[in-house]
Structures are given as C-alpha cells and as structure tokens.
Amino acid sequence: MDKLKEALYKLGDPDKAQHHWPITSHFIIVPLYESKAWPHNKIVTMAKLHMATINKLSPLYIKNLEDINKHLTLSDGLTLTIHQGFNQVKTQQANPSIT
C-alpha cells in the first residue's frame, strides 16, 4: 500500500495536472480498503458519486471533427480548442446529493 501511495504522490501537483487532465486529473481512485482517511462510508459515498456522474454521460458526435485539441482561432484573435470549450460547460446541478 505504501508503494502505491508513493507512486500517486509522484504523479505531480493536482492543481497543475487538472489543466492537463481536466476531467480526472490523472485518474479517479476509489480505495478498496478502509483506512483512517477513507472509512467505509466515505468509500461507498465516493463510489456512488462516481457512478452517478458516469450514468449521466452520453455520446456526443460533431460532424467533421477529428481532433478536439486542435487550436481554433476566434474572430477576436483568441485561440480555443473544442476540448477547452467542453471543459467550461457547467451543469445545472453541480452537487448532486447521493443517499
């Protein structure tokens, strides 16, 4: 378990990684084993939140789009990628309650 923790710490600063991996940073982890930091009820709640998020996902198809990371120049000279645009979309309900 200590080796896993050390490997996770080496992944980098989450504040910086979130811009490179905006959805999950590097990945989402729900621990399988209880600890002081992760008691059983916290593990179950986090797993339910992840499943609620995944269940809301649906495919989106955009005609003639091959690379969502291709930089597009807007009329005002700014550049933006489709990926960046998607990451700025806000949902109606930011904090779903899970029971």
**Residue 52 φ/ψ, nearest 5 degrees:** -60, -40
pLDDT of residue 58: 82
| 3-state class (DSSP) for residue 34 | coil
The structure's pTM equals 0.41
| Contact predicate 25/17, CB 8 Å | yes
How do residues 12-63 score in pLDDT, each as one tens digit?
Answer: 676 676 666 555 544 566 777 888 878 899 888 888 888 888 888 888 777 8
Burial of 3 by CB count in 10 Å (0-12 exposed, 13-18 middle, 19+ buried)?
Answer: exposed
Range picked from 14-18, 69-73, 81-85 for highest mean pLDDT: 69-73
